Amino acid sequence: MDTTPLGPTAFRAPAVLLSGAVDYDMYRDFRRQLGAAADREIVVVELTTLGGDPEVARMMGEDIRFNSAMDPDRRFVFLGKAAIYSAGTTFMSFFARPNRYLTCGTRLMIHERKMNKQLQIEGPLTTCIASVTATLNEIQCSIAIQNEGFSNLIQGSDVTLDEVLEKAPSNWYLEAEEAKRRGLIEAVI
């Protein structure tokens, strides 16, 4: 895979332009644009988002990972503009570190997954245990998925998993230049 730093001209006409909430509508638009870029050697994916569904971000990311593995002669590049929050940062983590770029002044926001669920315990005691166990399993699985994403994000940087786990619960914001200094991205353009 080519990891040569790209100049600003590589970003003039991104193949994939996405903005707004990371949701199933964005995913459909992403897949359509990605398919239309099948003949491009360098596929720049430009994103601005205040966040959204982390599982949709993972689906989009897996498409990037899959396409990168299936066609190693093509280069898939992330360009974040203005705000890359939450699910947007999750999506960015699927791009190889040398293929991550942010525009000047862009902010990344890293946080833990959130859950909003009420657990009502009612009925025979054995089914009560099953309900509680199912919720606990859901939480533990979500934490494991979250931490896999954090590990992908920090690979090749000087950010440690312990640092992310300490700062993520209170929403960790990083300006583009700080993300570059810490090694989370290749460059600020």
pLDDT tens-digit map of 35-45: 999 999 999 99
Quick check: is 104 in a domain? yes
Side chain identity at residue 60, one-letter code: M
Cβ neighbour number for residue 104 with a 10 Å cutoff:
10
Closest residue by Cα to residue 110 from 162, 170, 26, 58: 170
Question: Residue 5 has what pLDDT?
Answer: 66
CATH number for the domain spanning 120: value is 3.90.226.10
Closest residue by Cα to residue 106 from 122, 83, 132, 126: 83
Domain count, the chain: 1
With 0.75 as the threshold, say if the pTM is over it.
yes
Where does the chain show beta strands of DSSP type E? 16-19, 42-49, 75-85, 100-102, 107-110, 172-175, 187-188
Quick check: is 1 in a domain? no
Question: Residue 102 has what pLDDT?
Answer: 97
Domain limits at 58?
6-186
Quick check: is 167 in a domain? yes
Quick check: is 97 in a domain? yes
Low-confidence ranges of the chain (pLDDT < 50): none
Give the span between the Cα atoms of 43 and 9, in whole angstroms: 13
Question: Residue 79 has what pLDDT?
Answer: 98
Cβ neighbour number for residue 160 with a 10 Å cutoff:
10
pLDDT (tens digit per residue) in 48-71: 999 999 999 999 999 999 999 999
Question: Residue 119 has what pLDDT?
Answer: 86
Quick check: is 27 in a domain? yes
